[in-house]
Structure 1
Amino acid sequence: ANAELGAVWSVGQRIWQRDFPGIYSTISAHQWSETIQPIMEALRDATRKRAFALVSQAYTSIVADDFAAFVGLPVEEAVKGVLEQGWQADFATRMVMPKKPGVLEASLKRFIPSSEPAAVPPIPNEQQLARLTDYVAFLEN
């Protein structure tokens, strides 16, 4: 369990640093126990939803490779998903243009429109650290 605890800490560090590609790679790099696996999958999916929402709010265009890394998907899959949601993609320049109105959610490797806007309130860094500390303490006991 100590190796798994270290891996949980590594994921927490990536979250703290807002290193979205690092979160996905750290989660997928470890073989999680069946107790922790669903938590890590949920964390990966929540991170993907958050990244997708941030891109749709903050960018008028983004390089497809950067977008794919930010949402943790292969480029082709990421571009296919956004095209299905009404975003635009320029294959010559390899740019993705987000659709501004509405909120979209990303689930495991598929993009699904949200039936109602799901505003995610920002969690202060101190609260995130407190949650992670509680989780690590729980795993140690």
Structure 2
Amino acid sequence: MDLSQLHDALSSQSFDKIADICDELILQVASTGVAYHEEWPYTIHLLGHLYIHDLNSARFLWKSVPQGIKETRPELVAAWKIGQCLWTKNYAGVYNAVRCFDWSPEASGIIASFLENYTRKMFDLLTFAYSTITVSDAAHFMGMSEEDATKYAVEHGWSLDAQRKILTTVKPKIATEQKADPSKLQRLTEFVFHLEN
């Protein structure tokens, strides 16, 4: 079984491509009738789907993994715990699931990138959902200590009322691009021409 394309994606940190690469490879291998279950990188495959937040495919993959493999690969089970937390929207649980396992060198890169992206996503959600939030709630949702959550928030433009332990969010400015509609421009030109004459 040639997994060189997968190894290339991992080494180049093209984590967003891993799910598609694995899906394609598993179909190719399955079509040959060769038994692949023992050698298949299920953990990386599952993490690839979680990385792009394809929870339906992650669930389908988990259900298709033979029970014997689930019982002998603790890292796969740990990856699935992340998936379960994502599925149930247990935001703090995602962080706990990531931090409660000593990931292999092969999985640690995708895990680190996933966690960075997930933290940024949670921060953006909090920015849009709240105008103010307690430090403890922000820390809970972002899976950080109160000190780290405060530092992260302040570095990203929020302000802190240290006495009340309240963070005030800063809504991002929405840039709107106005494009001239040629028909409106023509009517405006005609109108100005009419006023001048």
Instruction: State the TM-score, normalizing by the size of structure 2.
Output: 0.49
Confirm whether residue 82 of structure 1 aligns to residue 153 of structure 2.
yes
Offset, 1:102: 4.2
For 1:22, give the aligned amino acid: G
SS of the residue corresponding to residue 105 of structure 2 reads coil
User: Match for 2:121 among 33, 50, 54?
Assistant: 50
For the pair 1:18 / 2:89, whether they are aligned, the reply is yes
Query: Which runs of 5 or more structure 1 residues have no equivalent in the other structure?
Result: 104-141
1:80 Cα deviation after fit: 2.1
- Partner in structure 2 of residue 124 of structure 1: none
Higher relative contact order at CA 8 Å, sep ≥6: structure 1 or structure 2? 1
Secondary structure at the aligned position of 1:36 is classed as helix
CA distance in 1, matches of 2:173, 2:117: 18
For 1:20-35, what aligned pairs fall within 5 Å after superposition? 20-35=91-106
Instruction: Spell out the pairing of 1:1-141 with structure 2 (5 A cutoff).
Output: 2-102=73-173
- Structure 2 unaligned segments of length 5 or more: list them: 1-71, 175-197
Change (3 A) 1:47 1:75: same
Identical positions, percent: 29
Considering fraction of residues, name the structure with more helix: 2
Corresponding residue number in structure 2 for 1:125: none
User: Which structure carries more strand by proportion?
Assistant: 1
Between structure 1 and structure 2, the one with the greater Rg is: 2
